[in-house]
Amino acid sequence: MILEAILAYVHITAILTLVVFLSSEAALCRAEWMNETVVKRLALIDRIYGIAAGAVLVTGLLRIYLGAKGSGYYWHNWLLHAKLGMFIVVGLVSIVPTIRFIRWRKLLDATGALPSAEEVRATRKLVMVQAHIVPVIPLAAVFLARGFGAH
């Protein structure tokens, strides 16, 4: 019972951390606001976002395997697969912004140049795709936790 509560707490904390740093990326990644400080901050924020995503995945798997309901309850439910699918899509979409943030930081350090407005706008679109998928994942989670989607 205590383990279940601790796992739930750590998982929720990881989710909230992910949301905060994804929101920070969305707020900062704007062509009209781009400057040296923002480029550096985006690279750092994205690193923390990635760590939070890893923590969400690990704590989620721990809840599946060490939680009170057991892995059989979760793996046979299509809602878990929907959640994981959305999480994977978000992860795949996040690759391009991550690569760009790293490249922008290296370019800034090497030449002092900022990314083009077009590239910033295109990157922001990808960040916003993630920001629109992430809130749907907990919707599947609450139904999953209440027994919906079971065979």
The SS3 call for residue 77 is coil
Query: What average pLDDT score do residues 129-151 get?
Result: 93
CATH architecture of the region 2-145: Up-down Bundle (1.20)
Q: What is the pTM of this model?
A: 0.93
Structure tokens at 96: 């391009």
Dihedral over alpha carbons 41, 45, 30, 83 (to 10 degrees): 180
> With DSSP H G I counted as helix, E B as strand and the rest as coil, what are the percentages for the chain, rounded to 5?
85, 0, 15
pLDDT value of position 80 = 96
43-85 pLDDT, tens digit each: 999 999 999 999 999 999 999 999 888 898 899 999 999 999 9
pLDDT value of position 70 = 86
The domain ranges of the chain are 2-145
